[in-house]
Amino acid sequence: MKSKDRNYFKILRAGINTTYQDLGRNNLYHIGIPFSGAMDKRNFQLLNSLLQNDYNSPVIEFAYQGPHLKYFGKDIFFCISGNVSFKIITKEGVIDGNSYQCYLLKNGDEVDIHSTNKSVYGYFSINGTFGVDYYWGSCSINTQAQIGPNNGNKFSKDLEIEIIDINNSFNKRKLDYLGSTIENIRVIKGTNYDYFSESSQNKFFKESFKITKLSDRMGMRLEGPKIENIVDPNIKSEGLVKGVIQITSAGDPIIMLSDHGTIGGYPKIATVISADYDRLVQLTPGSNIKFKDVSLEDAETLYKLYQMETNNIISQIK
Amino acid sequence: MIKNILNLGDAALYCDFGSDVNQEINSNVIKYFYHIKKLNLKGITNLTPSYNKLIISYDLNIHSFLSLKKKIENIEIKENNKLEKNLIEIPVCCDNNFALDIKRVENKLKLKSEIILEKFFSKNYFCYMTGFVAGMPFLGDLEKDMRLKRLETPRVKVPKGSVGITEQFCNIYTFETPGGWNILGNTPQNIFDTSNQLNPNLVNPGDTIKFYRITLDQYNEIKR
């Protein structure tokens, strides 16, 4: 491809943990490969809907501080989802951008994504397709197992992000959406719930836990009242799923997130319900959370309601 | 053969095959795993076999716990279904640079290093499961006098290719990762191949592993 025909972003600053993500890869737990995929699926879905891309199109996920990108090529639109502060730098000047709005970029324009506000993850994409390689049907980058495009590594300075297709019939769209936060994380009691003393079981649901800095795409470590194990601090290693809350030998909860190890040997006290996962992963270190016990039937209903709500938000895109 | 099916959260079945760890129970888990995998049921997003459990993750938009539980309970697997088993030979170098914990193992087991390695290499090992990180095989069983606990403080980085033991099991670190197993050596062989998307694992559940000892020169030769 001749350089004048190329459309691409050059990364002037990579951000803290910037990767390609899509819906992730299925049916590989048995060989030790987790789902991965966008942490906050709702914001992933909103972004592709706003840009009229396929529902599983690759997007760029960033955490805390996003990338600073310079664009080279023919006119293109971009959009950002999540609670994000960013600037658009053009020849005409610098403007503050709003999430969930599409903006035009011309050759030489820049997007500087400063930070996510009171949240962890944000998403960036264009009205088109990034040139990514697929590994087991997904372009999600899993930095721990080094699987995915860019040799499974997060983005670094000077990397060039290729765009292989631009949707020319695209019309600028926007959405008025303020995001959704959560006070209590709802959980279903785990398969080893009875490993813990009655007073610890009560504390687990009555007291609050602080999210520590030891949190990433693999897991979220919490700090709070020690959970006392009265049976055995270990179980025979068995499969995990995202949202599982294990209690370590030290008595602290750790929540499995999208890039988690596929098997583990700590007892499981509870599992976060699917309806609350997107909002859980957006909670920043230092936040306090409380767990609330719900039944399996309620969790199934709450998930359906959450999906309906997502579809309702998508229908408001204009 | 499944004793009980519970839910693990709201989007996974927790199939319990018992509480013991032995090859008979594990073979049943693996039989179910391969059988359900072959059925290719719509909306099943992951199957995770382990020593004595099988976890079935599903898409909540397609299944609910009760309906999928019924489907799995109705699966009939003949007891005499034979497991496909491969014998895989894996070279291991126990040079001092690789045998990171041999001194600790000597002290804990009260055996000389040569005896430890002789015992280690004299047995074939059964692959119970793979996972934690991509392709890592959990193998067993070590002789009773070869069993010890994991390190009190796990290593932040265990080198790729490390071969370690803990309790009745041994494993191979397919990636550089944190870990607490007692490291006896290192294999130059690639156990997980990211570029082989059809069959990335050298070792799969149900396979038998035979380790054989190589010198540092042989190690470097294979690595090259």
- Tell me: pLDDT of A139 over 70: yes
Cα of A159 vs its chain's centroid, Å? 22
> Binning pLDDT at 50, 70 and 90, where does residue A89 land?
very high
CB contact under 8 A, B10 and A32: no
Residue type, A207: E
B137 contacts chain A (CB < 8 A): no
Cis peptide before A158 (omega within 30 of 0): no
> Binning pLDDT at 50, 70 and 90, where does residue B85 land?
confident
Query: Cβ atoms within 10 A of the Cβ of A297, count?
Result: 12
pLDDT on residue A4: 63
User: Rounded to an integer, what distance in angstroms lies between the CA atom of residue B17 and that of residue B3?
Assistant: 5
Interhelix angle B102-109/B113-121, rounded to 10 degrees, is 90
Q: Which residues of A touch B154 (CB under 8 A)?
A: none
Q: Could you tell me the residue ranges of all domains in chain A?
A: 3-166, 184-315
Q: Which residues of A touch B170 (CB under 8 A)?
A: none
Closest in B53, B177, B200 to A239, CB measured: B53
Distance from CA of A58 to the nearest CA of B (A): 20
A184-315: CATH superfamily? Cyclophilin-like (2.40.100.10)
Nearest chain B alpha carbon to A189: B9
pLDDT on residue A263: 92
Are the beta carbons of B48 and A30 closer than 8 angstroms?
yes
Mean pLDDT of B194-222: 93
Radius of gyration of chain A (CA): 21
* Strand A219-223 relative to strand A184-189, pairing: unpaired
DSSP A146: T
Mean pLDDT of B185-210: 93
CB contact under 8 A, A27 and B7: no
Distance from CA of A140 to the nearest CA of B (A): 14
Q: Which CATH architecture has domain B4-73?
A: 2-Layer Sandwich (3.30)
- Tell me: pLDDT of B79 over 70: no
Cα of A136 vs its chain's centroid, Å? 20
Burial class of residue A13, CB neighbours in 10 A (0-12, 13-18, 19+): middle
Comparing CA positions, the residue from A179, A209, A173, A184 lying closest to residue A317 is A173
B196 contacts chain A (CB < 8 A): no
Share of chain B above pLDDT 90, in %: 84
B56 contacts chain A (CB < 8 A): no
Tokens of B206: 């149900």
User: Best interface-test mutation with A: which of B7, B10, B38, B52 has the largest number of A CBs within 10 A?
Assistant: B10
Residue type, A25: R
B190 contacts chain A (CB < 8 A): no
pLDDT on residue B224: 85
Task: Provide the residue count of chain B.
Answer: 224
Assigned CATH for B87-223 = 2.40.100.10
Longest dimension (CA), chain A: 69
- Tell me: pLDDT of A138 over 70: yes
> Binning pLDDT at 50, 70 and 90, where does residue B81 land?
low
- Tell me: pLDDT of A5 over 90: no
Q: Coil, strand, or helix at residue A174?
A: strand
> Binning pLDDT at 50, 70 and 90, where does residue B9 land?
very high
> Binning pLDDT at 50, 70 and 90, where does residue B80 land?
low
User: Rounded to an integer, what distance in angstroms lies between the CA atom of residue A46 and that of residue A84?
Assistant: 14
- β-bridge mates for residue A215, sequence order: A220
Q: Could you tell me the residue ranges of all domains in chain B?
A: 4-73, 87-223
- Tell me: pLDDT of A36 over 90: yes
Q: Which residues of A touch B45 (CB under 8 A)?
A: 26-27, 35
In sequence order, which ranges of A239-293 are alpha helices (DSSP H)? Answer: 277-281
Taking only the tens place, the pLDDT of each residue in A234-276 is: 899 999 999 999 999 899 999 999 999 999 989 999 999 999 9
Cis peptide before A216 (omega within 30 of 0): no
Are the beta carbons of A194 and A235 closer than 8 angstroms?
no
Closest in B9, B45, B175 to A26, CB measured: B45
What ipTM, to 2 d.p.?
A: 0.95
